[in-house]
Amino acid sequence: MKKQMDKTKKKEKQMNKEKVKLNALWFIIWFVGMPFYTIGSIFEYTCLLLKSAFEQICNWPQIVEKALDEIDVRIDDIEKELVHYEDKLKGKVVYMPCDSVDLFGKGLPSNFWVYFHKNFERLGLKKIVATYFNEGGRSYKIEYSGGCDNDVLDYVKVVMDGDGDFRSEEVVSIMKKSDVVVTNPPFSLFREFFNQLVQLQKRFLILGSPNAVSYKDIFPLIKQEKVWCGVVFNKSTTFVLADGTTKDVQINWYTNLDHNKRWEDVVLYKKYNEEDYPKYDNYDAINVNKSKDVPMDYDGVMGVPITFLNKCNPKRFEIVGIMSRDKVDVFNKGYPKIDGKKKYARLLIKKL
């Protein structure tokens, strides 16, 4: 019996020693492997952050446009542009399909409505109409045909059947009955809004991103002189955000209403030479670094800054195309390159 107990104790001691060794082994494995596990976790987390950042960067134009959907234009900036079209508005029905008298839910009218309401009689308007998108609910239409111009809340309000989406049949019907559409459409839906106006053959004056100039469904109309840029072009404009703060944003006005700025003459004084005006590798045209440097004695195709659009007098220059993307098509001639190096996007013009 004693011998059996001794054997049992020895066995227990041996097992305890094995447990100690096993625990020591696991500690060594954990101690040695922990840094690698930590590094791996950090690496994995870093990769996720980079992936997220990359997606944000790739989608940045869309993110910015979406963020600018709920903004209002300062009335000073509206006046600076609208003053050039006053003779085009007399006796007209002006429709603002993206404007509200309850902007940001604060009971405030949009500044487009304020401008046209307060200047109704002076401009000789026939009627102003505004609608607004009310996500998840019924919207309304407001109309003003004269009365107390200074009271911007003097209007007739009609509850609509739908939510006021500019693509709805209800809004399209109102748009068809109007003479001129003036508004600040959602930047994220600019193309769709623009194309709808063109399809309905409406006269319009709208705000948009300067990048819209090179859109493949917009530039052809600019080239064909069916649409052009407004007086304020590629300028930093202050917008009012939903929280009451302001933000400076680069904008263009786009229109098919004529204005005197289109016909202003440009004084050219530079003379052409091969050194200052090299040719592109991928298209037969010379590069002009600045709008003011357009040579007066060159008759071929020239690549000028996109901002030359607001100086491109139709009687003096022909728009040949644009160089803003690598993919070549009828209107886009590829991205401009000189000696293998990419240059800035260019508008292609030729003197008449």
Closest among 60, 57, 70 to 98, alpha carbons compared: 70
pLDDT at position 26: 59
Residue 103 — very low, low, confident or very high, per pLDDT cuts 50/70/90? low
| Most confident residue range from 51-55, 63-67, 158-162 | 158-162
Closest to 224 measured CA to CA, from 176, 256, 246: 256
pLDDT tens by residue, 207-219:
999 999 999 999 9
Rounded mean pLDDT of 310-329?
94
pLDDT of 313 strictly over 50: yes
Measured in Å, how far apart are the chain's first and last C-alpha atoms?
121
How many CB atoms within 10 Å of residue 268?
A: 15
Q: How far is CA 101 from the centre of its chain?
A: 24
- Percentage of the chain beyond pLDDT 90 is 63
The stretch 22-45 carries a mean pLDDT of 53
Range in 69-78, 281-290, 305-314 the model is least confident about = 69-78
Give the tens place of pLDDT for each residue, 126-156.
999 999 888 888 998 999 999 999 999 999 9
For residues 164 and 47, is the Cβ–Cβ distance under 8 A? no
Which pLDDT belongs to residue 13? 54
CA distances to 170, 173, 248 from 161, in Å: 8, 13, 36
Is the pLDDT assigned to residue 255 strictly greater than 80?
Answer: yes
Give CA 279 to chain center in angstroms: 31
Task: Give yes or no for residue 37 having a pLDDT over 90.
Answer: no
pLDDT band at 17 (very low <50, low <70, confident <90, very high): low
Any idea which of 196-210, 237-251, 303-317 has the lowest mean pLDDT? 237-251
pLDDT at 61: 41
Average pLDDT over residues 163-167: 94
**pLDDT band at 119, cuts 50/70/90?**
very high
CB 173 within 8 A of CB 162: no
Indicate if the pLDDT at residue 284 is higher than 60: yes
Q: Please state, rounded to an integer, the average pLDDT across all residues of the chain.
A: 83
**pLDDT value of position 239:** 77
> Is the pLDDT reported for residue 1 higher than 50?
no
Helix axes 190-199, 169-177, angle to 10 degrees: 50
pLDDT digit string (tens) for 216-231?
999 999 999 999 999 9
Contact criterion met (CB below 8 Å) for 272 and 295: yes
Which residue in 334, 95, 69 sits closest to 203, CA to CA? 95
**pLDDT recorded at residue 23:** 60
Closest-CA residue to 314 (of 266, 268, 253): 266
Determine which of 70-79, 110-119, 159-168, 271-280 has the lowest per-residue pLDDT on average.
70-79
Contact criterion met (CB below 8 Å) for 149 and 121: yes
